[in-house]
Amino acid sequence: MKEYLRSALGRVLRTLKNVPTGFLPELSVPANPDHGDFATNCAMQLARHLRRPPREIAEEIVATFMAKEHDPFYVDSITIAGAGFINFRCSDRYLYRELEACLAQGSEFGRSNTGLGEQALVEFVSANPTGPLTVGHGRNAVLGDTIARLLEWIGYAVTREYYFNDAGRQMRVLGASVRSRYEEVVAEKDQPFATSARVVQHRHEYRTKQLAGSKTTVPASFPEDGYLGTYIIEIARELVRVHGPDLLDAKDDDCFEHAAKQTILSDIRATLERLGVSMDNYFNEKSLYDTGAVAATLDALRARRMIYERDGATWFKTSELGKESDTVLVKHTGEPTYRLPDIAYHVDKMKRNYDVVIDIFGADHIATYPDILRGMDVLDLDSDRVEVIIYQFVTLMRAGEEVKMSTRKANFVTLDELMDEVTPDVTRYFFAMRSAQKHLEFDLNLAREASDKNPVFYLQYAHARICSILQKAAEIALVSDPALARLTLLEHEAEIALIKEIIQFPQIVVCCAQAREPHRLATYLRGVAEAFTRFYHSCRIIGERREVALARMALAQATGITLRNGLGILGISAPERM
């Protein structure tokens, strides 16, 4: 319907004099249903260009539309409101046909070929492998996975990728932290090997210290910026269980680093799977060094005379590319900053020939990601293919108070702990229901509430109620069969309003996918559930005459299809009972 109106209006506007070339009319859904189903303010937009009153322009547009473009199958009426708004009302025939399409398509309702043949790479989460996923990573995970699902629903071939930062100083600190805790565990007197000569010697030499500015006691060998979470101790205990004290004399920290990396990656995978996120590829940063990609990227930038040496460091001439100052790519210690391997990583992404590459970063990256795009531009890569989505931070709230970010896992709340409290379904919806650009206050009390105030409960309960209605109808031999339903009997205001909500779904999916805005789908589904609730209280099914009951059952079934498909895109279950 929207595409028909936009195309028809475009042809009408081309008949007017002095309309700017390429002008496209915008269509919106009025907040007040009394104003119609679609509206455009194109007459007011054109008033300055045409130097005519907007209402006069609107009258000419409507007259031309009715004479040349009006299709009564789609449009029941056109009216002009206020200074020149043009309002369109859909015909009932169109509504019934679209409802039939929903019932016929079932689980495929909402899918399209809009992006067929296009390939997309969505890189998200990409948390450092130095600890468990946090609440903030959870928002990233839900945002990225839901965008990927939306793209798949409109025909894209999507690859989900996690960039695994397993190179650099942070990994060395991780290895040193685990080794220090390993030494601590080995020194415990209740170990089965406690009396061995090597362990007795180790226990005699073992010392502790307090971290600077803290009352925390740690082994003397613990790095000042080491990782304090108890997960480090758990990794150390597992090493002691497997190897006993044999690693005390290890020449370096490599085995400790490797064990920590493997354990943490396994835990990250498990957490993501629990959230309903399955990555297609884990791309290791270390591979960029092993294959020479980082060195090749630096050489390519040098060949273009865009880097120089100063104070022992290697600098990128970003001041020539719109930035106030230049940027360090390699520190005076010889260790690259994050930007260099990140540029090399994006070189690799471009070589894989995706039509669109989507990067999802937290707000702490807002000042750094442009350097990646600048590096791509210098290397003559198409940075326009890269879309960067920045999401804002999450604050956990309980009873109106901010939850202090301190738990058994160190100084952060883990994603697993959040899911333990409010379930993965609730976690996904709450992370998806706000625009990524907005700070998110996650209300734990609301998330746990089993009432209509909780949007997840409200949506899932609406779906369960539909299943219950259809089940009860079947028990009295009133079986839902869309082929037998006379949809033209759906005339009640609440019925028509619900149909109008349902048939928007395919266009909503396309719009959410193209705009990369999952929150709009969450908002839409709430509207569908609210329209169903009004229908449920206004239009009985069981006890109504058979023809009307069958039509209303078909409408309930279509609502269930829409809610189920929409919740599926959000990665949320649609229970049949609650």
User: Which tokens sit at 406?
Assistant: 């301190």
Q: Which CATH class is domain 2-90?
A: alpha beta
Read off the pLDDT of residues 145-191 as tens digits, 9 standing for 90 and up: 999 999 999 999 999 999 999 988 899 999 999 999 999 999 999 99
What's the topology of domain 452-569? Isoleucyl-tRNA Synthetase; Domain 1 (1.10.730)
HSE value, Cβ hemisphere, 13 Å, CA-based, for 163: 22
Tens-place pLDDT, residues 4-41: 898 999 999 988 888 888 888 889 888 888 889 999 99
Residue range 225-263, pLDDT digits in tens? 899 889 999 999 999 999 999 999 999 999 999 999 999
What tokens does 250 get? 């290890």
Does residue 407 have a pLDDT over 70? Answer: no
pLDDT at 265 over 60: yes
Task: Give mean pLDDT, residues 57-83.
Answer: 92
Question: What amino acid occupies position 254?
Answer: D
Asked whether the beta carbons of 375 and 343 are under 8 A apart, the reply is yes
pLDDT of residue 405: 58
Q: Mean pLDDT, to the nearest integer, of 537-552?
A: 92
Please name the residues in contact with 289: beta carbons below 8 A apart, sequence gap of 6 or more: 167, 295, 341
Amino acid at 286: K
pLDDT number for residue 438: 96
Report the pLDDT averaged over residues 445-458: 95
Task: State yes or no: pLDDT of 572 exceeds 90.
Answer: yes
Question: What single string gives the DSSP state of each residue in 542-562?
Answer: TTS-HHHHHHHHHHHHHHHHH
Highest mean pLDDT of the ranges 213-222, 401-410, 504-513: 504-513
Q: What is the pairing mode between strands 217-219 and 157-164?
A: unpaired
- In the block, tokens 């925390």 appear at 216
Ranges assigned E (strand) in 266-311:
281-284, 307-310
Judged by DSSP in three states, 466 sits in helix
CB distance 428 to 499 below 8 Å:
no
- Asked whether the predicted pLDDT for residue 409 surpasses 50, the reply is no
Mean pLDDT (the chain) is: 93
Output the six-digit token pair for 468. Answer: 């219950």
| CB contact at 8 A, 63 and 5 | no
365-377: pLDDT as tens digits = 998 999 999 999 9
Per-residue confidence (pLDDT) for residue 408, from 0 to 100: 39
Same fold, 2-90 and 452-569: no
Q: What pLDDT score was predicted for residue 463? A: 98
Where are the chain's structural domains?
A: 2-90, 169-268, 452-569
Reported as a pLDDT band with limits 50, 70 and 90, residue 390 is very high
Structure confidence at residue 410 as a pLDDT band (50, 70, 90): low
pLDDT at 1: 82
* pLDDT (tens digit per residue) in 290-321: 999 999 999 999 999 999 999 999 999 999 99
CA distance 17 to 499: 39
Look at 94 and 31; give whichever has higher pLDDT.
Answer: 94
